[in-house]
Structure 1
Amino acid sequence: MNRFLLFFLISFYSFTLIAQQKVPVKPRILISSDIGGTDPDDNQSFAHLFMYSELFTIEGLVSSPSFGDGNKEEILRMINLYEKDLPKLKKHQKGLLSPDYLRSITKQGRHGAAPYIGYTKPTEGSEWIIKCAKKKDKEPLWVLVWGGLEDAAQALHDAPEIQNKIKIVWIGGPNKKWSANSYAYIAANFPNLWFIENNSSYYGLFSNNNEPDSVKTTDYYDKYIQGAGNLGKDFKNYYNGNVKMGDTPTLLYMMDGDPNHPERESWGGSFEKMTHSPRVIFNGITTTKDTVAYCTVTEFHLKGPVINIPADSACFWMETTLKGKVQKWPGYYLGNGEYAIKYVPKQAEILKYKFTSEVPNFPVQDGVLVVENLWPGKKHNTDYKLGNSWYTDKSDPNLYDGKIQGGKTILKWRNAILMDWAERWSWLLDK
Structure 2
Amino acid sequence: MKKLFLSFIILSFSNILWAQQPVPQKPRIIISTDIGGTDPDDNQSMTHFLMYSDLFQTEGLISSPSYGDGTKKHIIDMVDLYEKDLPKLQQHASGFPSAAYLRSISKQGRHGAAPYKGYASATEGSNWIISCAKKKSAQTLWILVWGGLEDVAQALHDAPEIQKNIKIYWIGGPNKKWSANSYAYIAANFPDLFFIEANTSYYGFFANNKTPDSLNNNLYSKLSIREAGFLGKDFNQYYKGQIKMGDTPSLLYMMDGNPDNPLKESWGGSFVPFKQSPRVIFTRNTNLQDTVAVCSVIEYHFKGPEINIHPDSACFTMTVSAKIGVQKWAGYYLGKGEYVIRYCPKQAESFNYSIASDIPNFPTHQGQMVVSNHWPGKPNTSDYRLGKNWYTDKPDIDLYNEQWQGAKTVQKWRNIALLDWTKRWEWLR
| TM-score normalised per structure 1 | 0.96
**Aligned with 1:37: secondary structure?**
coil
What 5-or-longer segments of structure 2 have no aligned partner?
Answer: none
Distance in 2 (CA, whole Å) between partners of 1:277 and 1:140 is 24
**CA drift at 1:15:** 3.3
Query: 2:298 aligns to what?
Result: 298
Q: Which amino acid aligns with 1:256?
A: D
With over 3 angstroms needed to count, the CA separation of the structure-2 counterparts of 1:412 and 1:324, relative to structure 1, is: closer
1:14-413 pair list within 5 angstroms? 14-17=12-15, 18-209=18-209, 215-321=215-321, 325-413=325-413
Distance in 2 (CA, whole Å) between partners of 1:11 and 1:102 is 37
The answer to whether the 8 A contact 1:214-1:415 is kept is no
1:307-347 deviations in Å (ceiling 9; x for gaps): 11111011111101356743110000111111000110011
The answer to whether the 8 A contact 2:293-2:371 is kept is yes
Moved more, 237-246 or 17-26: 17-26
Distance in 2 (CA, whole Å) between partners of 1:325 and 1:360 is 29
**Aligned with 1:412: secondary structure?**
helix
Distance in 2 (CA, whole Å) between partners of 1:229 and 1:211 is 25
Percent same amino acid among aligned pairs?
63
Q: Which amino acid aligns with 1:37?
A: G
Distance in 2 (CA, whole Å) between partners of 1:288 and 1:408 is 31
**CA drift at 1:121:** 0.2
**Aligned with 2:107: secondary structure?**
strand
1:241-295 deviations in Å (ceiling 9; x for gaps): 0111100100000000000100000000000000000000000210011110011
Q: Which amino acid aligns with 1:283?
A: T
The answer to whether the 8 A contact 2:221-2:227 is kept is no
Q: Which amino acid aligns with 2:142?
A: W
Is residue 420 from structure 1 mapped to residue 429 from structure 2 by the alignment? Answer: no
Distance in 1 (CA, whole Å) between partners of 2:380 and 2:215 is 42
Moved more, 211-220 or 16-25: 211-220
Distance in 1 (CA, whole Å) between partners of 2:131 and 2:9 is 43
**Aligned with 2:215: secondary structure?**
coil
**Aligned with 2:269: secondary structure?**
coil
**CA drift at 1:207:** 2.6
**Aligned with 1:26: secondary structure?**
coil
Q: Which amino acid aligns with 1:421?
A: W
Distance in 1 (CA, whole Å) between partners of 2:213 and 2:233 is 27
**CA drift at 1:364:** 1.2
Distance in 2 (CA, whole Å) between partners of 1:43 and 1:211 is 23
Distance in 2 (CA, whole Å) between partners of 1:99 and 1:9 is 37
What 5-or-longer segments of structure 1 have no aligned partner?
Answer: none
The answer to whether the 8 A contact 2:211-2:415 is kept is no
The answer to whether the 8 A contact 2:213-2:219 is kept is no
| TM-score normalised per structure 2 | 0.96
Distance in 1 (CA, whole Å) between partners of 2:324 and 2:55 is 43
1:100-156 deviations in Å (ceiling 9; x for gaps): 110110000000000000000000000000000000001000000000000000000
Please tell me the root mean square deviation across aligned C-alpha atoms, in Å. 1.7
The answer to whether the 8 A contact 1:181-1:342 is kept is yes
The answer to whether the 8 A contact 1:10-1:422 is kept is no
Q: Which amino acid aligns with 1:176?
A: K
1:44-82 deviations in Å (ceiling 9; x for gaps): 011100100111000000000000000000000000001
**CA drift at 1:227:** 2.6
Distance in 2 (CA, whole Å) between partners of 1:336 and 1:286 is 24
The answer to whether the 8 A contact 1:263-1:272 is kept is yes
With over 3 angstroms needed to count, the CA separation of the structure-2 counterparts of 1:179 and 1:324, relative to structure 1, is: closer
The answer to whether the 8 A contact 1:399-1:405 is kept is yes
Distance in 2 (CA, whole Å) between partners of 1:332 and 1:318 is 11
**Aligned with 1:339: secondary structure?**
strand
Q: Which amino acid aligns with 2:192?
A: N
**Aligned with 1:97: secondary structure?**
coil
The answer to whether the 8 A contact 1:215-1:414 is kept is no
Distance in 2 (CA, whole Å) between partners of 1:291 and 1:269 is 28
**Aligned with 2:418: secondary structure?**
helix
The answer to whether the 8 A contact 2:227-2:235 is kept is no
Distance in 2 (CA, whole Å) between partners of 1:92 and 1:386 is 44
Q: Which amino acid aligns with 2:248?
A: T
The answer to whether the 8 A contact 2:278-2:376 is kept is yes
Q: Which amino acid aligns with 1:159?
A: A
The answer to whether the 8 A contact 1:283-1:301 is kept is yes
Distance in 1 (CA, whole Å) between partners of 2:306 and 2:291 is 30
Moved more, 208-217 or 332-341: 208-217
**CA drift at 1:226:** 1.7
